Amino acid sequence: MRIAVDALGGDEAPGEIVAGAVAATKRLPGDEILLVGDEARVSKLIGPDKPQNLTLRDAGAAVGMDEEPASALRARPDASVAVAAKLVRSGEADALFSAGNTGGTVAAALLRIGRLEGCRRPAIATVLPFTSPAILLDAGATTMCRPQDLLNFAILGGVFAERYFGLDVARVALINVGEEPGKGDDLAKESHALMRDSGAVHFVGNVEGRDIGGGVADVLVTDGFTGNVVLKTAEGVSREIFGMLRSAMTANAVSKLAAAILRPKLLGMRDRLDPENYGGSFLLGVAGSVVIGHGNSKARGVENALRGISRTGAGLSDALQQALDSSHATPAGDET
């Protein structure tokens, strides 16, 4: 694969982004990494021993975290994320990675790459690192959804999970306030009926928030508002639980002894829950692979994100488009 990397996007850019990209070239010798940014500045960070499968593309400044994305892209069409997106649109790259302004990455993808036919709105798909990992979407791209949007998310998420996890068939569930088909608001009820009657997804029904980590589904579908709350809540709760464990295990000498014995297991749990292990979230619904990294991504997170992109393969967007086409998911005339 050829992966365009926004070298200037992110709190730790360009140093950590470049370091992660260079590390990825060693783990992905068959892929090409295109670092997009101020070429002179990026070259200094790489040094004299530039990997053969690393290419530089010059670009302007990044879209700032506090900038309004669409306005910034219109004012600066040479912004690093915009140039990276153009590389995907032109076919010079198969995928785009950016740890910069999330809205800027979404806007660049929609404006420069375009949507898949039949997909009204995109969705952010992120991995929830449970004992049985699951894909959550939408995690924040589309907060106001129609039932047809959630069906599209289910179709896209199913195809993505099968490629990402290597599954034969992905189980898809709808996040709701109850397991029964009649539970929830109108959006949930209508979406449930669409997924149940669609032959494009292996729908296993509703799943309540308390059960999303129980391995009942490989794909968890909801609107972007709810999904973002679920994601941030899960991250906050896990962080709080580890803080409580740390306090309990350092309370006295006996606790410290127990902590020393359990340390390898606890470190393994911490690493499993670390977002850097996955590195980013896929934006599904656009005509190319687009991955949004965490704003504070370090080199390890960038490297893992690029490895995840490589694992899904260069034909991801084609597979997603084929799934949408075969499902007849969007009625004629409903492209607005």
Q: Is the peptide bond before 11 cis (omega within 30 degrees of 0)?
A: no
Cβ-contact 147, 325 below 8 angstroms: no
pLDDT at 43 over 60: yes
Nearest-angstrom CA–CA distance, 333 and 118: 10
Question: Do 96 and 133 fall into the same domain?
Answer: no
> Could you tell me if residue 319 is inside a domain?
no
Residues in the chain: 336
Question: Do 42 and 1 fall into the same domain?
Answer: yes
In this prediction, residue 336 carries a pLDDT of 43
In this prediction, residue 5 carries a pLDDT of 96
Read off the tokens for 163: 């490629």
Question: Do 56 and 134 fall into the same domain?
Answer: no
Report the 3 state secondary structure along 28-93. Answer: CCCCEEEEEECHHHHHHHHCCCCCCCEEEEECCCCCCCCCCHHHHHHHCCCCHHHHHHHHHHHCCC
Averaged pLDDT for residues 142-161 = 94
Question: Do 19 and 144 fall into the same domain?
Answer: no
Q: What is the pTM of this model?
A: 0.86
Domain holding 6: CATH number?
A: 3.40.718.10
In this prediction, residue 168 carries a pLDDT of 93
Averaged pLDDT for residues 317-330 = 81
Question: Do 130 and 245 fall into the same domain?
Answer: yes
In this prediction, residue 275 carries a pLDDT of 67
Specify the higher pLDDT residue, 308 or 150. Answer: 150
> Could you tell me if residue 321 is inside a domain?
no
Count up the domains in the chain and report the number. 2
Q: Which domain holds residue 334?
A: 1-119+285-313+329-336
Question: Do 13 and 64 fall into the same domain?
Answer: yes
Q: Is 176 helix (H, G, I), strand (E, B) or coil?
A: coil
* Residue bearing tokens 């997170």: 301
Question: Do 110 and 131 fall into the same domain?
Answer: no
Instruction: List pLDDT tens digits, range 154-175.
Output: 999 999 999 989 999 999 999 9
> Could you tell me if residue 70 is inside a domain?
yes
Averaged pLDDT for residues 25-36 = 94
> Could you tell me if residue 31 is inside a domain?
yes
> Could you tell me if residue 318 is inside a domain?
no
In this prediction, residue 273 carries a pLDDT of 67
> Could you tell me if residue 255 is inside a domain?
yes
> Could you tell me if residue 293 is inside a domain?
yes
Q: Which of 12-26, 205-219, 303-317, 322-336 is the least confident region?
A: 322-336
Averaged pLDDT for residues 210-236 = 91
Question: Do 185 and 298 fall into the same domain?
Answer: no
Question: Do 192 and 301 fall into the same domain?
Answer: no
Instruction: List pLDDT tens digits, range 96-117.
Output: 999 998 889 999 999 999 999 9
Question: Do 150 and 237 fall into the same domain?
Answer: yes
* Residue bearing tokens 């806007």: 107
In this prediction, residue 335 carries a pLDDT of 46
Nearest-angstrom CA–CA distance, 296 and 301: 9
In this prediction, residue 264 carries a pLDDT of 80
Question: Do 101 and 143 fall into the same domain?
Answer: no
Mean pLDDT of the chain: 89
Per cent of the chain over pLDDT 90 is 59
Averaged pLDDT for residues 193-217 = 92
Question: Do 45 and 155 fall into the same domain?
Answer: no
